[in-house]
Amino acid sequence: MNNNTFKYLRYLIYTDFYRIAEELTLKNFISSLMNVPGFQYCFWMRVCNYLKYKKITKVFFYPFAKGILRHYTYKYGIAIPFTASIGEGFYIGHFGGIIINGKVVIGKNCNISQDVTIGLKVGGKNPGVPTIGNNVYIAPGVKIFGNIKVGNNAALGANCVVAKDIPDNAVVVGIPGKVISNDGSSAYIILTDYKKFEDF
């Protein structure tokens, strides 16, 4: 699917919505857009990313959308630039203290909790920003830094600090983060069967 079309924008919004509501009714959508902080932020982040690169909408609608996104940044303490590459089914479980660098790449079906930082490391070993795989669960307080890769289906435990590559299906805890099992994130990543909406 072309990722620079309105159809793809709609698909991203629906996948984000499905991960919190499952039942895609207009009533649930409006209620979530009005009352669920994580979805509110995701919605306007997606809209800004789409409008920024459209010539006409960039002039007339982009400043408005960007203003709303900035409002939610201060209101909810979520700082995720719309320039970050984030796959479908993005889920923000709880708001507050979430900071993600604008160059970070995050795969599909990622769960982000409160007080999470995914940031730039300058100098030292592995300078740069992280790449997060698909179906990754990131618990409250996790810190991820540097040019590292977090593998698919990984689960990062509360308050762990990750500064090196994490393999697929790993469960990571502690400071610094250490792999304690290969049980993965399947117990935490739910409501991902939204493929039916690709042709919506």
According to CATH, the superfamily of the domain at 6-181 is Hexapeptide repeat proteins (2.160.10.10)
Angle value at C-alpha 21, between 16 and 27, nearest 5 degrees? 105
Residues forming a β-bridge with 118:
100, 144
What are 165's two structure tokens? 């590559």
Query: Can you give the pTM of this predicted structure?
Result: 0.92
User: What is the per-residue pLDDT for 56?
Assistant: 67
Provide the pLDDT for residue 139: 97
| Dist. CA 56–CA 45, nearest whole Å | 19
Report residues of the chain scoring pLDDT below 50: 1
The SS3 assignment for 136 reads: coil
Neighbours of 59 (CB within 10 A): 10
pLDDT of residue 12: 94
Structural tokens at position 114: 């409160």
Q: What is the DSSP letter of 151?
A: P
Q: Supply the pLDDT for residue 4.
A: 76
Domain boundaries, the chain: 6-181
**The pLDDT of residue 199:** 58
